[in-house]
Structure 1
């Protein structure tokens, strides 16, 4: 058990932190929503009812959407673009690694990596496909959650009739929510790429070795 924990410590800590923070988000969001409902003379939601509201769904998935978009594009772009001096870039002049092709597969390689044809092509691009697929899923859930929240707010404030998800997609509200997250994600990754050219973190694979030159590119 101790060995398993050691081998999986990084993902366990990350997902553990995620669970803590999303529970805290739900608790504080529940309080905020009930304060808003009280201002309009509406009955408070139970905690479990709150988890199904547009208020919570929109807040969660508009952030997930930007995270998966950023990571999906980051994985894809680093396959083709380089940044001199950054460990986040592949080495200058490197095109494709021989290990990326089925003829270099061994008995220890994943089964799909040893196959020819569309299955092997799909597997070669599976990471970016999965991340961008999660972006699309999060985008759609954000859209429907945002529509529900928008309609409720309009009903509370002015008694306006609800609009469709398609209509909400064309509003500035929806795109403002998305853009305020998208821009921050690309800023953060861009800052990591550039700062890692000259700055170091001992022991981290996201950093070059402390003694490496600023021009050294790649891990």
Structure 2
């Protein structure tokens, strides 16, 4: 196997999702551009350029809203998997396992805790929540710009980011994406109790019973 083929094989998952991201972003840019100009035309305004659209509050805010919701989904799933249980789910620790751990297992865990710093032990959830805060902050500021663009078309005055943060519009945009992300987590966790996907790391073995809990977080 050539070195390039090996690199593609070893990183095929990240390559796939990277390509899907680029394709979806391009689709969002193109369709959003036409939709924005249709709205401008309906109000008798001149069409905006592609560059103006890509730097507009409407386009950037749409990305920020979705990104912060998706990152929140991952962050809460990772953190919940560290402290909570769901019997039978693939993405959960076994609730009975810790009750039966012997002294050697507990000593090994204690040694691991001393070996790594608190930040290292929780680096994944910390990184995800840091990304969430960045996306949330971006949504606040570019969302205010996007909202003011809409207010301008309606002949209304602009809002400050602080006023926008206290508005129903800001929290409506947040809650409508958050509820979808949390619902997807719930559906995923429950479905993995009963359903299987052969060879997937997110699924229990095909022959595992519904009561068998996965070990993906251990």
- Tell me the TM-score normalised to structure 2 length: 0.89
- CA drift at 1:218: 1.1
Map 1:91-170 onto structure 2 (within 5 A): 91-95=94-98, 103-104=111-112, 120-157=117-154, 159-170=155-166
Q: Which runs of 5+ in 1 are unaligned?
A: 105-112
1:56 to 56, 59, 63: 59
Provide the residue aligned with 2:173 in structure 1. Answer: 177
Alpha-carbon distance in 1 for matches of 2:129, 2:93: 21
1:190 and 2:193 are equivalent in the alignment:
no
2:208 maps to which of 205, 209, 212: 212
Contact 1:100 1:124 (8 Å CA) reproduced: no
Give the superposed CA RMSD. 2.0
Taking a change above 3 Å as real, the CA distance of residues 146 and 99 of structure 1, as seen in their structure-2 partners, is farther
How many aligned residue pairs are there? 207
Taking the aligned partners of 1:100 and 1:17, their CA distance within structure 2 comes to 41
Match of 2:10 among 7, 11, 21: 7
- Contact (CA 8 Å) 1:85, 1:197: kept in 2 or not? yes
Range 40-49 or range 81-90, more displaced: 40-49
Residues 35 and 115 of structure 1, relative CA distance in 2, 3 Å threshold: same
Q: CA deviation at 1:101?
A: 5.4
Structure 1-normalised TM-score? 0.88
Show the counterpart of 2:46: 43
- Local SS of the residue matching 2:83: coil
Which whole-Å CA distance do the structure 1 matches of 2:52 and 2:62 have between them?
A: 15
C-alpha distance in structure 2 between counterparts of 1:217 and 1:69, whole Å: 24
**Structure 1 residues 14, 154: closer, same or farther in 2, change over 3 A?**
same
Secondary structure of the structure 2 residue equivalent to 1:10? helix
In structure 2, stretches of 5+ residues that fail to align are none
* CA drift at 1:100: 8.4
